[in-house]
Amino acid sequence: MNQPDPDAVRATFTRVAHRYDLANHLLSGGIDFRWRKKLVRLANRNPCSHVLDLATGSGDVAFALQRGLSSNPKITGLDFCEPMLIQARKKRNQINLDTEKYPFIEGDCLDLPFSDNTFDLVTISFGLRNLADREKGLSEMYRVLKPGGRLIVLEFSQPYWWFRPFYYFYLRLILPWFARFVTGDREAYLYLGTSISNFPNRADLCKELEEVGFGQVMVKAMTFSIVSLHYGDKA
């Protein structure tokens, strides 16, 4: 199976950065807000002082964590696409958040610029399937977590078998044309469909988490399993 090409993925997100948030909200029918709320609810089960949000993009998950985590941690957002980070920084400045406490930095999920055992919580939302080497990326997430730290992955998944024909009809035939209307870029959302269809199902991703060392691995399917929350911790 072909792995995502980092340069192609970066170019894709660069092209749609200026309308990325609008496209997400419209193309998901607004359900993306609910998905993020469930991630925050899961994250809030344990206090944390330093959070890393990977593939942070325009920062929607980082800002949801900032609003929703009762422990008021430092939240670092990392992405390899600078135009997406520009959007995140604009939003941070609009709500007057401290740049030291909420930094957004450019970096590679396959070579994280952090020491071992740094973070209490690592999150990655709709970015894991874009990694050129998923095992290496998951190993890096494990490395930078403190003992007892947690990983939460919010990602597209394989839908329930009975819903699959309807979902892929939408994903392959309707969504790209609607995306072209919203963003002016049909090709970016053709890639979305391909990346989702190539991604592991829930059970297989759980195995991948366990293979790099995560324990207490759990998964929760949402919205007919088109999206899932995966959880694991570092002993």
Q: Percent helix, strand and coil across the chain, each rounded to 5? A: 50, 20, 30
pLDDT over threshold 70, residue 141: yes
Distance CA 196, CA 104 (A): 26
Q: What is the pTM of this model?
A: 0.93
Query: If you ran DSSP here, which 8-state letter would residue 154 be given?
Result: E
**Strand 145-156 and strand 227-233: pairing?**
antiparallel
Residue 21 is given by DSSP the state: H
Is residue 179 within 8 Å of residue 23, measured between CB atoms?
A: yes
Q: What's phi and psi for 233, nearest 5 deg?
A: -125, 165
- In DSSP terms, 218 is beta-bridged to 231
74 pLDDT more than 90? yes
Span 168-185, pLDDT tens digits: 898 888 877 877 776 776
132 burial level (CB within 10 Å; 0-12, 13-18, 19+):
middle
- Domains of the chain plus CATH, in order, are 6-161+200-233 (3.40.50.150)
- Which burial class, exposed, middle or buried, applies to 179 when counting CB atoms under 10 A from its CB (0-12, 13-18, 19+)? buried
Structure confidence at residue 17 (pLDDT): 76
Count CB neighbours of 125 within 10 A.
24
Tokens representing 164?
């699959």
Mean pLDDT of 99-118: 98
150 strand-pairing partners: 121, 233
Q: pLDDT band for position 49 (50/70/90)?
A: very high
Q: Tell me if 39 sits within 8 A of 67, measured CB to CB.
A: no
**15, 54 in Cβ contact below 8 A?**
no
Contact predicate 94/24, CB 8 Å:
no
Cβ count within 10 A of residue 217: 16
**Calpha distance 59→211 (Å, rounded):** 29
pLDDT reading at 1 higher than 60: no
